A and B are shown apart, each in its own frame.
Chain A
Amino acid sequence: MVGALVPSVRARAIALLWACQGILALVAAWPAATMVRAAFGGDPDGEAILFRPGGHALLMFLAREADGVQGALAGATVVLVVGAAASILPTGMLLFSLEGSLNARTPSSLKATVAPAVRSFTALAVLFVGFGLAQALVLGVGAFVAPLVANLTERGAGEARSQEIAAVAVAVLALGAGYLAILHDVACAALARRHRTALAALAASLATFQAHPFLLAWAWAWRGALSWGPLVAITFAPRLGERRGAIAFVLLVFLHQAAVLVRIALRASWLTVAIRTVGATVRAVHDEPLARAPL
C-alpha cells in the first residue's frame, strides 16, 4: 500500500513545485501584461499588434512606456528573488518525498513532507545563500579575469583568438560554478538523508563528491543539459508563437508548461541520484563522524 503511494507523493511534490513556480511567475508577469492591455486594449486585434513582423508597435510600446516597463521589471525581479527563496520549502518537500520514495518509509503523503521540510528550512536556506554567493563570486572572478586574459593575449594572438582564450578561462570558471551547483544539490540531498545541519550536509556533500565525482558530474550534467532542450526548442521555434486563435494559444501554453514540468522532473531525477549516492556514501547520523558506505 505504501509502495503504491510513494510515486504519487513524488509526483505531487513535483506538481507542487511546478504550481508554486507557476504562481510566482504569473505574479511577476502580471503588471507588464496588464500594461500591455491598458495600452492596446482598444485595438481590435489586441496584443497581436505587438507581435507584427517588424516589431514597430512593440518597440514603440517599450520606448513610450519605458518607465512603466522598468517598474514592472523591478517588481518582477523582487518577486523572482523572494520567490526563489520561498521555493526552498516546496523544494524541501520534493527532497523529502524523493528520499521517502527511495526508502519506502515516510512520508506516506505530501503533507507528511511539510514537517521535515520546515525543520530543514534554515539549513536549506543557508546552503542556498552560501552556494549562491560562492557561485556569484566565481562568476564575478570570471567577469574580471576574462577581459584581463583577453588584454594580455591580444597583442600576440589578435582580438578574436584572445577572446577565445578568455572564453576558455571563463568556461573553466563556469565549471567551477557547476561544481558548486553539484555540491549544493548533494548537500541538500544530505539534508534529506537526515544530516541535520548545513555544515554536516556540506561535509557529506564533499565526501560524496570525492567518492563519486564522475557519477555525480555526469548525472547532473546530462540532466541539466537536457532540461534546457525543450525550453530552448519551444522558445526559438520561429513560427510556433505566430499561430492565432484559442486552440493555438492553449496548445502553446501546454507545450510551454510541459517543457517546464520536464525540467522539474529531470531535476527531481537528479536529486534522486544525489540522495541515493549520498546515502550510499555517508552515514546519516547527526553529530557522528562521516563513514563511507558501499554504493
Chain B
Amino acid sequence: MQRSMGTALALVGLCLGTDAASPNLGVRLEPDAHADPLIRTSPAAAAPERPHAEDVVDYRLTARLDPDAHTVHGEGRIVWRNMSRQPVQDLWLHLYLNAFKNDQSVFLRERVGGRGSTRPSDWGSVDVRRLALASPDGAEVDLLPAMQTRGGDDGADETDAHVALPRKIATGESIELAVAFDDKLPSVVERTGYVGSFHMVAQWFPKIARLEPDGTWAHFPMHHLAEFYADFGTYDVTLDVPEAFTIGATGPVVEARVAGGRRIERHVQSDVHDFAWTAWDRWRALHETIAGVRVTVLFPPGHEHVAARDLAAVRFALPYEASRYGAYPYDVLTVVHPEDNAREAGGMEYPTLITAEGPWWTPDDVLAPEIVTVHELGHQWFYGLVATNEAAWPFLDEGLNQYAEADAMAAWKGPGSAANVFGLRVSDAALQAVASQRGVHDGPVAQSASAFSSGAKYGQLVYARTAAVLETLARVYGIEATLGEYARRFRFEHPTPDDLLAVVAENLGPGVAATLRTALFDKGWVDYAVDGVWSRRAESPAGLFDRDGRRETQTATDQGHYEGGATVHRRGTLSFPVDIELVLDDGSRQRVRWSGEEAETRIPWQGSVGLRAVRVDPDDRVVIDANLENNAAQINPPSGPAPRVLERLALVAQAALQWLGP
C-alpha cells in the first residue's frame, strides 16, 4: 500500500534553480562523484527460484454483484490443508469487511490518521450465511453455530472469527468447507467499496487465516494500519456482473460469457494468497504484453494520459524488478486506476492486480503516478511472492518495497525520480531519506502495525526509514544483490525478520547484519560531523630551550610547507565507513577512508598547499545521516547571504511584486 508523498514535494515547490556538481578540482576526485548514486547497474544474484508455492488453501467461489444495492452474494467451497506440524481442532477466519460494519470495530476505533480515517458514509459488512464441513460420505456438519465473531478488547469487533471443528485435523489432512456469504460494500474506504457504479471488491470473502508451522494461527482483527497475511493456494472465482460492466480481477480469464444481461467471467490463479476484483460500467482499457505478461490498465474516461503513464511505469518496472528479485510468475497483471474521488481504493496491491492513483491532470514532471504504480508493482514480490506477515512485521513488505520502488525509479528516471520542476531534480530516495528522519527516535521500525501510534509515524518508520536504511546499505555496501537473494530464497515463503538478517549476514557479514538489526529494532541513528579544521604554515620549534646546560632562544623559521588537520565525529548508534574529503587552498581535493567505528577521528594534513576545508561523506552515501549541515567545515567560511539562493529568491520576489503590485 502506498502512503502519500506528503509535504516533501510541496516543499520543493520553491522556485530554486539547480546548481552544479562540484568542479573537478580534486587530486583524487572520484569519477562522477556527484552523480546520483541511485542509478544502479549492479546485477542481482541469480539464485534458483522456486517454481510454485505450497498449495495450502483453494477457494472455488462464485460472486454476484448487485451494483445498485452494492452487494455481493458469494458461495462456494474452500479446501484447506493442515500443513503445520500439529493437529488442529479449530479454524480462524478473517471477515475483514466487517471492519466497516460499525464504528466499534477495531479498525474504526483506531483511526490514527492516514487512509481510512474518515468514517464511511455507507457501512459495509460480510455476513456468513453458510459454513459447513463436508465429509467424504457427502454429509455436512454445520459449523455456523460454532463460529464466534466477537473479538477485540471488548468483543465488539467482528473481523476475526473463530470456528471450532468437530474433530482434529491431522498434519497433512485436508478438509472441505461449503460457504455462502453476503457482502454489503461500504462507500469506498481503505482499499474497498463503491462510488456510484464503481466497485472495488477487496477483503470480501471469509478468508482462512494462516496456520504457522508450529500449529499456531496467525490471526488478528483488522487494524487500522495493518494489512494481511495468508497461505498460498488456488483461487477459482466466477464473477457475475451486469453486462455493461467491465471486470478486472486477480488471475487470467479462463471462461467468459454474456447471458441474461449478465457478464460472467471465471478467473483462476494458482500460487497466490488473495483475490480482489473491480467492476465498473465506465472502465476504459489499455492492453500490452510486457516481458511475456499480458498487462491491462483499467482507467476512467479522460484519464488516458495518466493511464499511459501507468503502463509506461509497468513497462520499465516489470522486467526491472524481475531482474532484481526473481521472475514474475504469472501470466497477467491488471492495473486499476480509480478516479480521484475513489482514491481510497487506489495505491493498493493484490496478487496480479494493483491499484494506481493520481489525478488525470498530474503534471508530467511530477512522478507521483509512476511512483505509486512502481510501488504497487513491487509488492508483487514483497507481499505477493515473499509473503511476510504484514500485520506483525509491516517493514518486511512495505519497507523493503519502498526501497525497491526508489531503486527502480532511480534506475528509470535518474536523480529526478520524484519530480523535475523548475530545473530542480528531486529523487524518490531523497524523499525517503528526509521523511525517515522524523520519528526515528520515537520507536523502532520493526514492530507490529498496530503498535504504531499514528499513521504518520507508521509511514515515516515502516516505509521511509526502512527504505533509507537499505538505501544507505546499498550505497555503502551494495546490498542490492543480497535483497535479490533474499527474495529468491523466500519466494512463495513466509520469512521473518530473522530470515532477512540471516541472508544479510551470510552475504555481507555479521557486522552489516548487526547494523541493520540496530537500525530496525533499536531506533539506530547516525550523524557524522566535522567539528574542526585548521591549517597553518609549518614552522620550526620556537621558544626557550635548555640544551647542554645553556638556555637558548630559538625563533621560528618557515619550514616551507603547511600542516593542519580536522576532527570528525560520529554520533549515534550506527556506524558506516565513510570518505573524508580534504579540500586544499589550490582547489585540489584528496580523500581518506574512515571506518567510522570510533566516535572520533583526527585527520592530519601536511603538504605544500594549505588545507581549506574538510567534508565527510562527500558522495552522500549515508543518506540516513541525521544532519547534513555539520558535514563540512572551512577555515575561513564566507559571510553574508548565499548568493545564488539570494538571486533566485529575489527573482521570485520580483515576480510576486509585479503580480501583487499596482
Contact = CB atoms under 8 A, between A and B. Distances in A.
Interface of A: 21-22, 24-26, 28-30, 32-34, 36-37, 39-64, 76, 79-81, 83-84, 87-88, 91, 124, 127-128, 154-155, 158-161, 163-164, 184, 188, 231, 235-244, 249, 252-253, 256, 260, 263-264, 267
B655 interface: yes
B178 interface: no
Contacts of A188: 662
Contacts of A51: 16-20, 424, 644
A33 B36 CA distance: 25
Interface residues of B, number: 86
B141 interface: no
B430 A46 contact: no
A41 B653 CA distance: 23
A252 B647 contact: yes
16 contacts: A29-B645, A29-B650, A36-B641, A40-B629, A42-B630, A42-B632, A58-B424, A80-B656, A80-B660, A158-B339, A159-B302, A235-B15, A237-B423, A241-B17, A241-B18, A242-B423
Contact of A22 (B20, B341, B648, B650): B650
A161 B20 CA distance: 42
A164 B359 CA distance: 12
A242 B20 contact: yes
Interface in B610-633: 612-613, 615, 620, 623, 627-633
A263 B302 CA distance: 37
Contacts of A37: 638-642
Contact of B654 (A22, A91, A159): A22
Given A43-B631, A54-B415, A231 B424 contact: no
A246 B641 CA distance: 16
Given A44-B612, A63-B11, A25 B20 contact: no
Contacts of B633: 42
Contacts of B425: 53-55
B423 A44 contact: no
Contacts of A64: 437, 627, 629
Residue with the highest number of chain A CB atoms closer than 10 Å, among B19, B423, B633, B649:
B19
B540 interface: no
B578 interface: no
A240 B360 CA distance: 30
A43 B416 contact: no
Interface string B268-292: 0000000000000010000000000
Contacts of A240: 17, 423
Contacts of A45: 22
A-side binding surface: helix, strand, loop or mixed? Answer: helix
Contacts of A241: 17-19, 423, 644, 648
Given A158-B282, A249-B647, A55 B430 contact: yes
A253 B647 CA distance: 7
B645 A41 contact: no
A59 B631 CA distance: 15
Contacts of B339: 158-160
A59 B423 contact: no
A67 B457 CA distance: 20
Given A47-B645, A56-B433, A26 B650 contact: yes
A34 B641 contact: yes
A147 to B, nearest CB: 11
B530 interface: yes
Contacts, number: 266
B426 A36 contact: no
Contacts of A22: 650, 654
B651 A256 contact: yes
B650 A161 contact: no
A75 to B, nearest CB: 11
Nearest to B422: A235
Nearest to A228: B655
A107 B615 CA distance: 60
Given A54-B425, A128-B662, A47 B19 contact: yes
B11 A56 contact: no
Contacts of B639: 37, 41
Interface string B329-355: 000000000011100000000000000
B34 A53 contact: yes
Interface in B300-327: 300-303
B69 interface: no
A60 B437 contact: yes
Contacts of B655: 231, 260
A59 B660 CA distance: 28
Residue with the highest number of chain B CB atoms closer than 10 Å, among A49, A155, A231:
A49
- Nearest 3 A/B pairs, CB to CB: A160-B302, A241-B17, A51-B19
B8 to A, nearest CB: 6
Contacts of A184: 662
A52 B662 contact: no
A88 B20 CA distance: 39
B372 interface: no
A261 to B, nearest CB: 10
Contact of A249 (B341, B424, B644, B652): B644
Interface string B374-410: 0000000000000000000000000000000000000
A80 B620 CA distance: 37
Contact of A53 (B21, B282, B641, B654): B21
Interface in B419-450: 420, 422-427, 429-431, 433-434, 437-438
A221 B612 CA distance: 54
A91 B662 contact: yes
B643 interface: yes
Nearest to B10: A62
Contacts of B640: 34, 37
A59 B434 CA distance: 7
B658 A264 contact: yes
Contacts of B634: 41-44
Given A47-B645, A237-B423, A28 B360 contact: no
A177 to B, nearest CB: 12
A244 B438 CA distance: 33
A196 to B, nearest CB: 18
Contact of B662 (A40, A124, A154, A264): A124
Contact of A50 (B15, B613, B645): B645
Given A44-B612, A243-B20, A55 B427 contact: yes
Given A25-B654, A51-B644, A52-B21, 16 more contacts: A25-B650, A25-B651, A33-B643, A40-B629, A43-B613, A47-B643, A53-B21, A53-B414, A55-B415, A55-B427, A56-B430, A59-B426, A76-B653, A80-B657, A237-B423, A242-B19
